Each structure stands twice: as structure tokens, then as C-alpha cells.
């Protein structure tokens, strides 16, 4: 009920009557409900909307989501519906949809109600885009499952770090890339700086960042060659979607050497190491914290350079590569290495990590131990290096 409220609605009687008639014609109520109950419930909805609109009008700083919840609560207060099962207006999608369609756009008095309806629509989009953020294709890129508000904050901060990187280097990027498509993609990314923390905007940021990185990589692709050199080209990610693009599918199937060093990559898809003919992968001087493998690297892999990154865990999947002859993991944050490593016959660089003990079978064991640091020292050195790179 409306708790005896006797406020005079601001809406004109004709507009209210028209809106009410529309609701009467809608199938919002069960067929066995009497006409009197329909009238009571519809009237409650309209008057509740009016009261909420008045409250919102008198308090311009009110939150539309709060008003949305109040309207839902008042609407179901006289109904037989079990309100404990209703977490939001979406539990009655017809109601949301028809209110969106029924509010007259030209009626200024309905502005508060339209804001509430907009909030309902955003909440609906929130559910849809939250599901999109958790699809395997997106998770392969973001490495971040989004369930709670804290998850959104983490993903938002990562995306904003990427966007800030592009904002800081936009002049150099525009100078290095003359392609109009790249310029438009850069503008789209910069436009999303400091966007709201919603699933919709997180997904849009993901798409925009993917597109910009794809555009920059595409300018370096020569379909006639078997190498791809993207050294120091302002990348923040290597989109998996590019590897699956039909236009470049044959190119990546024949690719033997990939150089994406000296960029700002934070994560790396294992698909790069699983390309059919890949032999050499150079990813040094980035900010990669981990490499997640869903299956072993390609059997053709010979050379992997991951030095000067932020790896804390040893990527053991490389040990299953039969032809691997060189693995550089120096200047990372490795705390330990697997014992099985010393039974492998390939060259490995573990200098300048955070190892406290190294197996006696390690070649140049004393020299390697002499270069090790504490994790705190390694993090401090990384911060200094990052500051120098940003000042360039």
C-alpha cells in the first residue's frame, strides 16, 4: 500500500488515464484474476510510480536504482506475488518493457519515471553483458572471471591502465600508424577513459582495446612472409580473435617467428605457442604475469624468450616441447623451479629471479645464484624501469 499518502500527482489526468488504459489492455495479470483486482493492482502501480516520481523530483540527487526498487516493492505490495522471490523488476519483464514503451517522451513531468525506466534497462543490459564477460572467448583475453563487484573493479582497473597507456602515447601512435582505421580505433579507446564500472562498459572497453591492438598488428602483417615483427609497437594485448580471423588464418598457420617484445603485454594466450609451424617466440620486456596453457605447446617450438617480464610461476608446459633448445626466463619473479627441469637437454636462463635455492645439476649454479634477488627488490627494480619507460 501507499501508507496513506495523499500527494497530488503532478501528471495530467489525461496522460495518466491513457497510461492506465494501456496497462489494462496488457497481459500483465493472470486470466483468473478478477477485474477488481486488476484495477487495484494497476492503480497501485500508477500511483506508486507517481509518488516515486514526486520523490525523485524533490530530491534531484536521488539514485534511480533506489527509486526502481521502491516502485517494484510498492507494485507487489498489494499483489499475491511472493516478493521474497523478486530481486528486481526483471522478474516481471513485461512490466519493464511496457513501461518503457508507455511513458510519453514529450511529457516533462514523466522525466523522473523515464530515468527509472532507463535504470531498469541498464540493469537488464547488465545481466546480458555480465554473461558475455564470462564467455570462454573473453576469459581467454581478460583472465578475469567477473562475478562480484570486486571482480568488476579489478577488470576495470586493468582496462583503465591500458587506456591510460594509449592516452599517454597517442601522439606517437598516430605518428607511427598512418592508417585511418587505427586512428579511429585509438579514438574509441580514449573515449572510454573513466567510464562507469558496469558490465556493459567493461565489455565495450574489452572490444575497443581488442580492436585497437588488432589494427596495430594488422599493419605489421605481410602475408607473403613467415615472420611477424611487432617489436615496440605499443601493444597491450595480442587478441586471440586475430588468430582465428579467416583473412589471416593461413598466415598464422605458416608463421614460424613471432616477435612481440618491448610492448606492454600483461597476459599472453597459449594459442601463440600452439600455432602449427611456430618455432621462435620472443616476448621479452613486457609485463606478463602468467601464461595459461589449455594444451601443450607446438612440437615445432625451438626458441622461447620471456625474459624481463613478471612471471612468478614457472611455465612447466614448455618442458613438454620435444624440440625446445632455448628458454629464457631471466629477470622475472620466479620463486622456484621444478626438479624435472634439470633432466632436460636445452639451454635455460634463470638469472635475476627470486630463487633461494637451485639444484646442483644446474650449469653455472653459483653464477645464477649470485644474480638472484628478493621479491621486494625485484618489484622495486620493475617500478624504476616502468617509470623510465613512461618518461621516454
Cβ(336)–Cβ(314) below 8 Å = yes
Cβ(260)–Cβ(238) below 8 Å = yes
How far is it, in rounded angstroms, from Cα 306 to Cα 283? Answer: 5
Cβ(126)–Cβ(149) below 8 Å = no
The neighbour count for residue 333, using CB atoms within 10 Å, is 18
Q: HSE of 386 in the Cβ direction (CA atoms, 13 Å)? A: 14
Cβ(293)–Cβ(272) below 8 Å = no
Superfamily designation of domain 222-392: Ribonuclease Inhibitor (3.80.10.10)
> In angstroms, how far is CA 223 from the centroid of its own chain?
30
Cβ(263)–Cβ(286) below 8 Å = yes
pLDDT in tens, 153-199: 999 999 999 999 999 999 999 999 988 999 999 999 999 988 889 89
pLDDT in tens, 273-324: 999 999 999 999 999 998 888 888 999 999 999 999 999 889 989 988 889 9
pTM: 0.68
Residue 244 phi, psi dihedral angles, 5° rounding = -100, 0
How far is it, in rounded angstroms, from Cα 155 to Cα 310? Answer: 18
pLDDT in tens, 322-340: 899 999 999 999 988 888 7
> In angstroms, how far is CA 198 from the centroid of its own chain?
10
Residue whose C-alpha cell is 513501461: 99
Cβ(256)–Cβ(280) below 8 Å = yes
pLDDT in tens, 41-54: 334 444 444 433 34
Amino acid at each position: 500500500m501507499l501508507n496513506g499518502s495523499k500527494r497530488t500527482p503532478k501528471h495530467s489526468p489525461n496522460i495518466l488515464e491513457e497510461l492506465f488504459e494501456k496497462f489494462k489492455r496488457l497481459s500483465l495479470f493472470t486470466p483468473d484474476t478478477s477485474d477488481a483486482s486488476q484495477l487495484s493492482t494497476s492503480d497501485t502501480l500508477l500511483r506508486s510510480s507517481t509518488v516515486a516520481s514526486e520523490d525523485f523530483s524533490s530530491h534531484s540527487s536521488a539514485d534511480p536504482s533506489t527509486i526502481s526498487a521502491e516502485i517494484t516493492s510498492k507494485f507487489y505490495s498489494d499483489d499475491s506475488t511472493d516478493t521474497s522471490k523478486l530481486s528486481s523488476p526483471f522478474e516481471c519483464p513485461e512490466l519493464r518493457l511496457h513501461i518503457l514503451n508507455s511513458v510519453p517522451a514529450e511529457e516533462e513531468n514523466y522525466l523522473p519515471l523515464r530515468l527509472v525506466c532507463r535504470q531498469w534497462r541498464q540493469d537488464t543490459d547488465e545481466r546480458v553483458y555480465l554473461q558475455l564477460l564470462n564467455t570462454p572467448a573473453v576469459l581467454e583475453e581478460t583472465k578475469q572471471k567477473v562475478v562480484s563487484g570486486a571482480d568488476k573493479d579489478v577488470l576495470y582497473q586493468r582496462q583503465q591502465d591500458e587506456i591510460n597507456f594509449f592516452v599517454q602515447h597517442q601522439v606517437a601512435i598516430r605518428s607511427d600508424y598512418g592508417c585511418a582505421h587505427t586512428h579511429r580505433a585509438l579514438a574509441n579507446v580514449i573515449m572510454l577513459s573513466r567510464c562507469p564500472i558496469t558490465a556493459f562498459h567493461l565489455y565495450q572497453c574489452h572490444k575497443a582495446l581488442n580492436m585497437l591492438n588488432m589494427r596495430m598488428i594488422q599493419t605489421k602483417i605481410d602475408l607473403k612472409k613467415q615472420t611477424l615483427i611487432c617489436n615496440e609497437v605499443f601493444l597491450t594485448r595480442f587478441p586471440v580473435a586475430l588468430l582465428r580471423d579467416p583473412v589471416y588464418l593461413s598466415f598464422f598457420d605458416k608463421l614460424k617467428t613471432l616477435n612481440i617484445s618491448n610492448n606492454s603485454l600483461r597476459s599472453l594466450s597459449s594459442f601463440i605457442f600452439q600455432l602449427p609451424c611456430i618455432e621462435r617466440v620472443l616476448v621479452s620486456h613486457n609485463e606478463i604475469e602468467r601464461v595459461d596453457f589449455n594444451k601443450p605447446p607446438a612440437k615445432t617450438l625451438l626458441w622461447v624468450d620471456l625474459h624481463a617480464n613478471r612471471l612468478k610461476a614457472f611455465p612447466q608446459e614448455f618442458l613438454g616441447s620435444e624440440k625446445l633448445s632455448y628458454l629464457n626466463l631471466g629477470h622475472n619473479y620466479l620463486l622456484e623451479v621444478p626438479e624435472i627441469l634439470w633432466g632436460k637437454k636445452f639451454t635455460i636462463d634463470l638469472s635475476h629471479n627470486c630463487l633461494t635455492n637451485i639444484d646442483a645439476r644446474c650449469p653455472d649454479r653459483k653464477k645464477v645464484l649470485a644474480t638472484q634477488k628478493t621479491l621486494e627488490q625485484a618489484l622495486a627494480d620493475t617500478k624504476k624501469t616502468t617509470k623510465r619507460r613512461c618518461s621516454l
